[in-house]
Structure 1
Amino acid sequence: MPTATGRGRRRSGPSIEDVARLAGVSAQTVSRVSTGSDAVRPATRARVQAAMDQLGYSPNRAARALRNGSFGTIGLLAYRFERTGEALTTEAVVEVAEAAGYSVTLLRVQAPESANWEHAMVRLSHLAIDGLVIIRAETATPDSLALPAGLPVAVSDSRLVGYYPGVVADQVQGSRSAMSHLLGLGHRTIHHLAGPADSDPAALRSVTWQRCLDEAGIPTPPLWRGDWTARSGYQLGQQIAQDPDVTAVYCANDEMAFGLLRALHERGRRVPEEVSVVGFDGIALSEYASPPLTTVKQDFHRIGDELVRLVLGQLKSKSTPSRERVMVPTELLVRGTTAPPAR
């Protein structure tokens, strides 16, 4: 219920003094935590934030902006938040930003065409944000995505890497690991279930697949092109399952691999005895496929962590965006869907 103040006024929620009393600190310390100051020990910051959560206290962002020119908010821009990579990276960005005292505002692009990215920039100009993270702006270019001058920015796996500070997973190393594993098992060729043609990560995985076959002196078979979904993997898998010459398939992501596994099962093609399958992403469900899926794991949490670090670094240094590029390693997880080809 609202409580009365010493001057007879009423306030409708907990005050900064209430938080300070519960956390056992001064009101000045609570203010420092609210404004994202570094002059607070981690243990004290955690205690204050726990008190804020318990009381339902929300710092006044407008007042913070008037005091120090900061809104305490990072914008996060993406085309498809529901896709696995975007969802896992977003989760990490929100977690890391909150730990640093920042909230996150999501901004979704409705369709991949450049006009929609331009419209997003108009909406962005009306948001009270201190910096911006862009995830997988695969069709955007520096021309179609004219960002406000001086805005701290970090981008991930997009054509904007190289123009702004960027974080990318090592697609080439991951693809080489998958191909080396399958070739090392003795498969005479490896087929590829690729991602969309307009995706830079999909293109890197496809190019590396072809390059590995070239280096091994193996002719490149036609690829199948999906759209990242398990449905596309299943539909194309019905064609793949009918080809008796297919003994190994490198899939551009785990979800398409799941669809392929179902199609192979329905066709009576045993995995891995007759067909080996490797995915990419290393999502949690891959461990519980039947058989467990061999896959290339991306560290989505580290990607999100690095994106926030790049933005906060620019905010603290008051510098303009550089062209720093952080490469996050990938890891091959060998499980039950790969084996030597049948004799």
Structure 2
Amino acid sequence: MKPPTITDVARVAGVSVPTVSRVLNGSVPVSAARRTRVMDAIQELGFRPNGAARALATGGQPMIAVFTGDTTRYGYASTLQGIEEAARQSGYMVVISVVETDDRRTVEAAIDHALGQPMAGAIVLEYDPAGVATLDAIPPWLPVVAAASGRPADEKIAHAFMDDRLAAARATQHLLDIGHATVHHVAIPSPGRPSARLLGWRDALTEAGAPVPEVVYADWAPDSGYDAGARLASSPEVTAVLCGNDELAMGLVRGMTDAGRRVPQDVSVIGFDDHPLAHLWTPSLTTVRQDFVRLGQKAFHLLRAQIDSGTTPASVRFVPDLILRSSAAPVAAR
């Protein structure tokens, strides 16, 4: 079996090879009917134009596109850092496209804009609904890899992913092991389904036979963590909280403190990510360490392997570490 060529696409679509080339390059307008026939043939054959080879043939540098929902959040920025470092070492350029929402038109516009250049492949940060929608909309002929925070929902696409579900379960179990009757959870926004961190928290409580409190949903901002802390501080039954990320945990600690609850004497708090400020916070933050830079590097290496071989490599799983610091302690005697 040989990979399909542009000639095969032209034959199946009933058009000339230059017409297929124009559809792929977007350099010359093509009628809607012919474009549809070409794209249907590409999908039917599983054709993938080799952007790296095209760049070499024209004397250019091969490029990859990276689609991300944000560039300012710690996890996103660190993953982008890892991708860019690995790509630069391999002689690839990186084009970053920010997809603000999962709106179909927004997603398609971002993809069309990026693929206006001869991309060898793409990496999607599947951390939020916009990332999920973008991964679903990537053309089937383009090599693609996803960086994710949980096990892949689509096994047909190679993923470099953090096993957040296992990590959250371990963090929750640690709080139960040091005497807390249950653990509350302040959740970050999820990518269209319950987040792996929420599921892991629930797994540990269910397995231990502990009560499963109502989830407190927050956004990405530390201020929403502060609001959650002020809300949870009013209940003396709250003695332990797992937060969806460190920024929420920092805000929650401040909200608890302002409401008269001490951390960790009254309430233990665990964050997620190991933000650079986590060890400098007061108290220093017990957290789940995520190596986002290494995740981004691995995502690029998976994509490079797919570009070179024409086959989808196996996904790669990372297991984050629980870092014990001062914000979590055994429950106080009552």
2:99–2:106 CA contact under 8 A, matched in 1:
yes
The structure-2 alpha-carbon separation of the partners of 1:181 and 1:199, relative to structure 1 and needing over 3 Å to count, comes to farther
Q: Say whether 1:174 aligns with 2:164.
A: no
1:254 to 241, 246, 250: 246
Which residue of structure 2 aligns with residue 303 of structure 1?
295
The structure-2 alpha-carbon separation of the partners of 1:144 and 1:314, relative to structure 1 and needing over 3 Å to count, comes to closer
Where 2:182 maps in the other structure, the secondary structure is coil
Counterpart-to-counterpart distance in 2, 1:183 and 1:163: 37
Give deviations 1:32-80, integer Å, cap 9, x for gaps: xxxxxxxxxxxxxxxxxxxxxxxxxxxxx99982537864222111111
Q: Say whether 1:156 aligns with 2:147.
A: yes
Give deviations 1:300-333, integer Å, cap 9, x for gaps: 111111111011112222x04x262211110000
Counterpart-to-counterpart distance in 1, 2:163 and 2:135: 26
1:221 to 213, 232, 236: 213
Which residue of structure 1 aligns with residue 228 of structure 2?
236
1:71–1:129 CA contact under 8 A, matched in 2:
no
AA aligned opposite 1:314: Q
AA aligned opposite 1:73: M
Counterpart-to-counterpart distance in 2, 1:98 and 1:74: 11
Superposition RMSD in Å: 2.5
Pair member with larger Rg:
1
Give deviations 1:102-146, integer Å, cap 9, x for gaps: 121111113222332122222132023211111126335579843
Give deviations 1:280-319, integer Å, cap 9, x for gaps: 11121111110110000111111111111011112222x0
Which residue of structure 2 aligns with residue 341 of structure 1?
331
Counterpart-to-counterpart distance in 1, 2:67 and 2:254: 34
Counterpart-to-counterpart distance in 1, 2:117 and 2:109: 13
AA aligned opposite 1:276: S
Where 1:91 maps in the other structure, the secondary structure is helix
2:55–2:118 CA contact under 8 A, matched in 1:
no
The TM-score normalised by the length of structure 1 is 0.75
1:270 to 262, 265, 276: 262
The structure-2 alpha-carbon separation of the partners of 1:62 and 1:130, relative to structure 1 and needing over 3 Å to count, comes to closer
Where 2:277 maps in the other structure, the secondary structure is helix
AA aligned opposite 1:83: R
Q: CA deviation at 1:189?
A: 1.0
Q: CA deviation at 1:205?
A: 1.2
2:169–2:203 CA contact under 8 A, matched in 1:
no
Counterpart-to-counterpart distance in 2, 1:189 and 1:146: 41
Which residue of structure 1 aligns with residue 178 of structure 2?
185
1:246–1:275 CA contact under 8 A, matched in 2:
yes
The answer to which of 214-223 and 292-301 deviates more is 214-223
1:86–1:136 CA contact under 8 A, matched in 2:
no
Which residue of structure 2 aligns with residue 47 of structure 1?
none
AA aligned opposite 2:246: D
Which residue of structure 1 aligns with residue 316 of structure 2?
326
Give ranges in structure 2 of 5+ residues lacking alignment: 1-50
Q: Say whether 1:132 aligns with 2:122.
A: yes
Counterpart-to-counterpart distance in 1, 2:258 and 2:52: 59
The structure-2 alpha-carbon separation of the partners of 1:267 and 1:142, relative to structure 1 and needing over 3 Å to count, comes to closer
The structure-2 alpha-carbon separation of the partners of 1:313 and 1:62, relative to structure 1 and needing over 3 Å to count, comes to closer
**When the two structures are aligned, how many residues end up with a matched partner?**
280
Give deviations 1:180-229, integer Å, cap 9, x for gaps: 110110001111111114455x6211122122111111121111001122
The structure-2 alpha-carbon separation of the partners of 1:255 and 1:303, relative to structure 1 and needing over 3 Å to count, comes to same
1:96 to 77, 82, 86: 86
Which residue of structure 1 aligns with residue 280 of structure 2?
288
Counterpart-to-counterpart distance in 2, 1:327 and 1:109: 25
- Fraction of identical pairs, as percent: 35
Where 1:186 maps in the other structure, the secondary structure is coil
1:250–1:279 CA contact under 8 A, matched in 2:
yes
Counterpart-to-counterpart distance in 2, 1:157 and 1:108: 16
AA aligned opposite 2:259: R
Where 2:219 maps in the other structure, the secondary structure is coil
The structure-2 alpha-carbon separation of the partners of 1:221 and 1:137, relative to structure 1 and needing over 3 Å to count, comes to closer
Counterpart-to-counterpart distance in 2, 1:285 and 1:143: 31
2:228–2:252 CA contact under 8 A, matched in 1:
yes
The structure-2 alpha-carbon separation of the partners of 1:341 and 1:143, relative to structure 1 and needing over 3 Å to count, comes to closer
The structure-2 alpha-carbon separation of the partners of 1:300 and 1:233, relative to structure 1 and needing over 3 Å to count, comes to same
Counterpart-to-counterpart distance in 1, 2:167 and 2:127: 21
The structure-2 alpha-carbon separation of the partners of 1:66 and 1:176, relative to structure 1 and needing over 3 Å to count, comes to closer
Q: CA deviation at 1:147?
A: 2.5
Counterpart-to-counterpart distance in 2, 1:271 and 1:243: 15
